[in-house]
Amino acid sequence: MDGTQSPSVSVLFVCMGNICRSPTAEGVFKRLVEEAGLDGQVFVDSAGTHDYHVGSPPDRRAQAAAARRGYDLSALRARKLGLEDVRRFDYVLVMDRGNLNRAHSIGGGFADNIRLLMDFAPHRREREVPDPYAGGPEGFEYVLDLIEDACRGLLEDVKRRLAGEGAPAD
């Protein structure tokens, strides 16, 4: 793909404030996309369902946990999810059911692309990525474990989509 073309697939990760889980997922998935040689074909971003932290960098504990695994989240800044995001992104992947409901409310009639990130890790018992904000460092490590697993499954789904096998798998 040359630099004048738009990415073929767009992925948006969503949590509540866009400072812990969704920027972590953004960082993890960007690296997987780059390693797969798909960075020119896949656009990755993150947002929050609330505007508590707009303009703020990811939580320092999220950044530290990510850095220990080689992910750099320092350039990311929180933003709020909007209707235009739900319309524009192919995948709007939410961390938990509460934010799934909020994202559906924001998306109105354009919400068929919104789903839980953990849908892409069917081998895992967990269906939600818990919010580590109020806990200690071990919560951020656990979140990374879940996100890495789900993002690997997501990458396979994105590859199928890019190969022309249609919309995201259900």
pLDDT in tens, 75-102: 999 999 999 999 999 999 999 999 999 9
Active site residue 61: no
pLDDT mean across residues, the chain: 93
Catalytic residue among 20, 21, 79, 102: 21
CA distance between the termini of the chain: 28
In a domain, 169, yes or no: no
**Per the structure, how many domains does the chain have?**
1
* Over residues 32-40, mean pLDDT: 97
In what side-by-side order are the strands of the sheet with 114-116?
A: 42-48, 9-15, 91-94, 114-116
Q: How far is CA 63 from the centre of its chain?
A: 15
Provide the 3-class DSSP secondary structure of residue 162: helix
3 — pLDDT class (breaks 50, 70, 90): very low
Q: Residue 6: what pLDDT?
A: 66
125 is catalytic: no
Report whether pLDDT(166) > 60.
no
Q: What is the CATH number of the domain that holds 110?
A: 3.40.50.2300
- Kindly report, residue by residue over 98-140, the tens digit of the pLDDT: 999 999 999 886 578 999 999 999 999 999 999 999 999 999 9
90 is catalytic: no
Q: How far apart are CA 170 and CA 168, in angstroms?
A: 6
Indicate the range of 10-19, 80-89, 100-109, 150-159 predicted with least confidence: 100-109
Residue 120 lies in a domain: yes
Tell me whether strands 91-94 and 114-116 are parallel, antiparallel or unpaired.
Answer: parallel
Residue 167, pLDDT score:
56
Question: Catalytic pick from 45, 59, 96, 131?
Answer: 131
Whether 5 shows a pLDDT value over 60: the answer reads: no
Q: Is residue 3 assigned to a domain? A: no
The residue segments making up the domain with residue 77 are: 9-162
Is residue 2 one of the residues assigned to a domain?
no
Question: What average pLDDT does this structure show over 11-28?
Answer: 98
Please check whether residue 60 lies inside any domain of the structure: yes
Distances (CA, A) of 144 to 28, 116, 163: 8, 16, 28
